[in-house]
Amino acid sequence: MSNRPAASAAACIKSIKRRFRQLLHSKTSSTSCSSLPDKIQEKKLLVLDLDETLVRHSESFAESYALSYTIEGSTYYFNFRPFVHKFLERVSQLFDVVIFTANRRIYADPVIDFLDPGGKLIGRRYYHDSGKTINGCFVKDLTILGVDLAKVVLVDNDPNNFRLQKNNGIPIVSWYFDPQDEELSTLLPFLERLAAADDVRPIIAERFTRS
Ligand SMILES: [Mg+2]
Protein backbone atom coordinates (compact mmCIF):
# COMPACT_ATOMS: atom_id res chain seq x y z
CA MET A 1 0.00 0.00 0.00
CA SER A 2 2.85 2.33 0.86
CA ASN A 3 4.51 1.74 -2.58
CA ARG A 4 1.37 2.37 -4.64
CA PRO A 5 1.56 6.20 -4.68
CA ALA A 6 5.26 6.03 -5.54
CA ALA A 7 4.60 3.59 -8.39
CA SER A 8 1.81 5.77 -9.67
CA ALA A 9 4.01 8.87 -9.58
CA ALA A 10 6.80 7.02 -11.43
CA ALA A 11 4.36 5.90 -14.12
CA CYS A 12 3.11 9.43 -14.45
CA ILE A 13 6.64 10.84 -14.81
CA LYS A 14 7.46 8.13 -17.38
CA SER A 15 4.36 9.09 -19.34
CA ILE A 16 5.27 12.79 -19.25
CA LYS A 17 8.83 12.02 -20.45
CA ARG A 18 7.50 9.90 -23.32
CA ARG A 19 5.09 12.68 -24.36
CA PHE A 20 7.89 15.25 -24.11
CA ARG A 21 10.12 13.13 -26.40
CA GLN A 22 7.24 12.86 -28.92
CA LEU A 23 6.73 16.60 -28.89
CA LEU A 24 10.47 17.26 -29.21
CA HIS A 25 10.72 14.86 -32.15
CA SER A 26 7.69 16.43 -33.78
CA LYS A 27 9.15 19.94 -33.37
CA THR A 28 12.57 18.89 -34.72
CA SER A 29 11.01 17.22 -37.73
CA SER A 30 8.93 20.22 -38.71
CA THR A 31 11.80 22.73 -38.53
CA SER A 32 14.21 20.59 -40.53
CA CYS A 33 11.80 20.07 -43.41
CA SER A 34 13.94 19.71 -46.51
CA SER A 35 11.29 21.33 -48.71
CA LEU A 36 12.03 24.77 -47.24
CA PRO A 37 14.07 27.00 -49.56
CA ASP A 38 17.69 27.68 -48.56
CA LYS A 39 16.93 31.38 -48.50
CA ILE A 40 13.98 33.58 -49.20
CA GLN A 41 14.48 35.33 -52.51
CA GLU A 42 14.18 39.08 -52.16
CA LYS A 43 12.21 40.88 -54.82
CA LYS A 44 14.10 43.23 -57.09
CA LEU A 45 13.17 46.88 -57.39
CA LEU A 46 11.20 48.04 -60.40
CA VAL A 47 11.49 51.81 -60.63
CA LEU A 48 8.82 53.41 -62.79
CA ASP A 49 8.79 56.89 -64.22
CA LEU A 50 5.42 58.61 -64.16
CA ASP A 51 4.86 61.23 -66.89
CA GLU A 52 4.66 59.87 -70.43
CA THR A 53 5.53 56.41 -69.06
CA LEU A 54 2.38 55.63 -67.04
CA VAL A 55 0.34 58.81 -67.34
CA ARG A 56 -0.03 61.95 -69.37
CA HIS A 57 -1.17 65.25 -67.94
CA SER A 58 -2.23 68.51 -69.47
CA GLU A 59 -2.63 71.92 -67.92
CA SER A 60 -5.14 72.99 -70.53
CA PHE A 61 -8.66 71.65 -70.36
CA ALA A 62 -9.05 68.21 -71.90
CA GLU A 63 -12.47 67.01 -73.02
CA SER A 64 -11.64 63.49 -71.99
CA TYR A 65 -9.70 62.77 -68.86
CA ALA A 66 -9.65 60.20 -66.07
CA LEU A 67 -8.53 62.44 -63.22
CA SER A 68 -8.18 66.14 -62.54
CA TYR A 69 -7.04 68.16 -59.56
CA THR A 70 -6.02 71.69 -58.77
CA ILE A 71 -2.66 72.46 -57.19
CA GLU A 72 -1.44 75.96 -56.40
CA GLY A 73 -4.14 77.50 -58.57
CA SER A 74 -3.54 75.34 -61.65
CA THR A 75 -5.80 72.49 -62.73
CA TYR A 76 -4.23 69.35 -64.18
CA TYR A 77 -6.04 66.80 -66.35
CA PHE A 78 -4.73 63.25 -66.38
CA ASN A 79 -5.10 60.26 -68.63
CA PHE A 80 -3.63 56.83 -68.03
CA ARG A 81 -1.66 54.67 -70.39
CA PRO A 82 -3.67 51.66 -71.60
CA PHE A 83 -3.18 48.55 -69.43
CA VAL A 84 -1.49 50.53 -66.63
CA HIS A 85 -3.66 49.16 -63.83
CA LYS A 86 -3.19 45.51 -64.83
CA PHE A 87 0.49 46.23 -65.41
CA LEU A 88 0.92 47.52 -61.85
CA GLU A 89 -0.95 44.57 -60.41
CA ARG A 90 1.27 42.11 -62.27
CA VAL A 91 4.65 43.79 -61.68
CA SER A 92 3.89 44.27 -57.98
CA GLN A 93 3.80 40.47 -57.74
CA LEU A 94 7.26 40.24 -59.30
CA PHE A 95 9.02 43.31 -57.90
CA ASP A 96 8.97 45.89 -55.17
CA VAL A 97 7.59 48.77 -57.21
CA VAL A 98 8.97 52.27 -56.80
CA ILE A 99 7.89 55.52 -58.48
CA PHE A 100 10.68 57.96 -59.35
CA THR A 101 9.33 61.11 -60.97
CA ALA A 102 10.90 64.39 -62.00
CA ASN A 103 7.80 66.07 -60.62
CA ARG A 104 7.42 67.54 -57.18
CA ARG A 105 5.63 65.59 -54.46
CA ILE A 106 2.67 67.98 -54.33
CA TYR A 107 1.90 67.26 -58.00
CA ALA A 108 2.79 63.58 -58.07
CA ASP A 109 1.17 62.18 -54.95
CA PRO A 110 -2.49 62.55 -56.03
CA VAL A 111 -1.91 60.69 -59.29
CA ILE A 112 0.16 57.96 -57.59
CA ASP A 113 -2.62 57.58 -55.03
CA PHE A 114 -5.08 57.22 -57.90
CA LEU A 115 -2.95 54.50 -59.48
CA ASP A 116 -2.66 52.66 -56.17
CA PRO A 117 -5.76 53.51 -54.11
CA GLY A 118 -5.18 50.65 -51.68
CA GLY A 119 -1.51 51.47 -51.18
CA LYS A 120 -0.51 47.87 -51.90
CA LEU A 121 1.08 48.09 -55.35
CA ILE A 122 3.59 50.90 -55.06
CA GLY A 123 6.14 51.16 -52.28
CA ARG A 124 8.60 53.98 -52.09
CA ARG A 125 8.18 57.27 -53.95
CA TYR A 126 10.98 59.55 -55.14
CA TYR A 127 10.41 63.04 -56.47
CA HIS A 128 12.29 65.84 -58.18
CA ASP A 129 14.35 66.59 -55.09
CA SER A 130 15.83 63.07 -55.23
CA GLY A 131 17.30 63.62 -58.69
CA LYS A 132 20.53 65.23 -59.85
CA THR A 133 21.17 67.87 -62.47
CA ILE A 134 24.02 67.09 -64.86
CA ASN A 135 24.77 69.51 -67.69
CA GLY A 136 21.33 70.98 -67.24
CA CYS A 137 19.58 67.60 -67.48
CA PHE A 138 17.58 65.97 -64.73
CA VAL A 139 19.08 62.55 -63.91
CA LYS A 140 17.79 59.73 -61.72
CA ASP A 141 20.81 58.39 -59.85
CA LEU A 142 19.69 54.93 -58.79
CA THR A 143 22.30 54.70 -56.03
CA ILE A 144 19.87 56.75 -53.95
CA LEU A 145 17.80 53.58 -53.61
CA GLY A 146 20.52 52.07 -51.44
CA VAL A 147 20.34 48.57 -52.91
CA ASP A 148 22.54 46.38 -55.11
CA LEU A 149 22.15 47.72 -58.66
CA ALA A 150 22.15 44.15 -59.97
CA LYS A 151 18.60 44.10 -58.66
CA VAL A 152 17.25 47.42 -59.94
CA VAL A 153 15.30 48.08 -63.14
CA LEU A 154 14.16 51.54 -64.25
CA VAL A 155 11.51 52.00 -66.94
CA ASP A 156 11.52 55.54 -68.27
CA ASN A 157 10.50 57.31 -71.48
CA ASP A 158 13.56 59.58 -71.25
CA PRO A 159 16.92 57.74 -71.53
CA ASN A 160 18.68 60.84 -70.17
CA ASN A 161 17.16 59.95 -66.83
CA PHE A 162 19.25 56.77 -66.55
CA ARG A 163 22.45 58.02 -68.13
CA LEU A 164 24.39 57.29 -64.92
CA GLN A 165 23.34 53.62 -64.88
CA LYS A 166 22.51 52.85 -68.51
CA ASN A 167 22.31 49.12 -68.02
CA ASN A 168 19.62 49.46 -65.42
CA GLY A 169 17.41 51.47 -67.75
CA ILE A 170 14.69 50.30 -70.09
CA PRO A 171 13.49 52.99 -72.48
CA ILE A 172 9.81 53.02 -73.30
CA VAL A 173 8.09 54.96 -76.05
CA SER A 174 6.61 58.19 -74.73
CA TRP A 175 2.86 58.00 -74.32
CA TYR A 176 0.75 61.05 -75.09
CA PHE A 177 -2.74 59.76 -75.67
CA ASP A 178 -2.76 56.82 -78.10
CA PRO A 179 -5.62 54.57 -76.90
CA GLN A 180 -4.17 51.68 -78.95
CA ASP A 181 -0.81 51.79 -77.17
CA GLU A 182 0.43 48.33 -76.09
CA GLU A 183 3.89 49.14 -74.71
CA LEU A 184 3.19 48.13 -71.12
CA SER A 185 1.73 44.74 -71.98
CA THR A 186 4.54 44.16 -74.50
CA LEU A 187 7.11 44.89 -71.80
CA LEU A 188 5.78 42.36 -69.29
CA PRO A 189 7.55 39.20 -70.57
CA PHE A 190 10.92 40.97 -70.45
CA LEU A 191 10.26 42.17 -66.91
CA GLU A 192 9.28 38.65 -65.89
CA ARG A 193 12.64 37.45 -67.21
CA LEU A 194 14.50 40.17 -65.29
CA ALA A 195 12.64 39.32 -62.09
CA ALA A 196 14.16 35.84 -62.23
CA ALA A 197 17.72 36.92 -63.11
CA ASP A 198 20.66 37.20 -60.71
CA ASP A 199 21.82 40.43 -62.35
CA VAL A 200 19.52 42.46 -64.56
CA ARG A 201 22.29 44.58 -66.14
CA PRO A 202 23.82 42.16 -68.71
CA ILE A 203 20.33 41.19 -69.87
CA ILE A 204 19.28 44.81 -70.35
CA ALA A 205 22.62 45.60 -72.03
CA GLU A 206 22.15 42.71 -74.46
CA ARG A 207 18.56 43.67 -75.25
CA PHE A 208 19.52 47.25 -76.04
CA THR A 209 22.95 46.37 -77.50
CA ARG A 210 24.94 48.40 -75.05
CA SER A 211 28.52 47.61 -74.16
MG1 LIG B 1 8.77 60.76 -68.13
Rounded Cα distance between 48 and 210, Å, is 21
Rounded mean pLDDT for each run of 10 residues along the chain, 211 residues in total: 51 52 38 40 92 91 83 91 97 98 95 96 97 94 96 97 96 95 98 97 91 59
pTM exceeds 0.85 for this model: no
Q: What is the pLDDT of residues 174-188, one digit of tens each?
A: 999 899 999 999 999
Q: By C-alpha distance, which of 146, 152, 141 is closest to 200?
A: 152
Contact 200, 194 (CB under 8 A): yes
Residue 189 CA to ligand 1 center (angstroms) comes to: 22
Q: By C-alpha distance, which of 145, 142, 137, 91 is closest to 116?
A: 91
Q: What pLDDT score was predicted for residue 4?
A: 52
Sign of CA dihedral 172, 174, 176, 179: negative
Q: What is the pLDDT of residues 66-113, one digit of tens each?
A: 898 898 888 999 999 999 999 999 999 999 999 999 999 999 999 999
Q: Which residues 6+ apart lie within 8 Å of 85 measured at CB?
A: 115
3-state secondary structure 54-75: CEEEECCCCCCCCEEEEECCEE
Question: Residues with beta carbon < 5 A to ion ligand 1?
Answer: 49, 51-52, 157
202 conformational bin, left if phi > 0, alpha if psi -120 to 50, beta if neither: alpha
Q: What is the largest CA-CA distance in the chain?
A: 102
Contact 155, 207 (CB under 8 A): no
Which residue numbers are catalytic? 49, 51
Residue 83 CA to ligand 1 center (angstroms) comes to: 17
Residue 172 CA to ligand 1 center (angstroms) comes to: 9
Residue 193 CA to ligand 1 center (angstroms) comes to: 24
Q: What pLDDT score was predicted for residue 63?
A: 73
Q: What pLDDT score was predicted for residue 10?
A: 55
Q: What pLDDT score was predicted for residue 209?
A: 77
Q: What pLDDT score was predicted for residue 21?
A: 46
Residue 11 CA to ligand 1 center (angstroms) comes to: 77
User: Helix (H, G, I), strand (E, B), or coil: what is residue 12?
Assistant: helix
Residue 79 CA to ligand 1 center (angstroms) comes to: 14
Written as one letter, the residue type at 133 is: T
Residue 118 CA to ligand 1 center (angstroms) comes to: 24
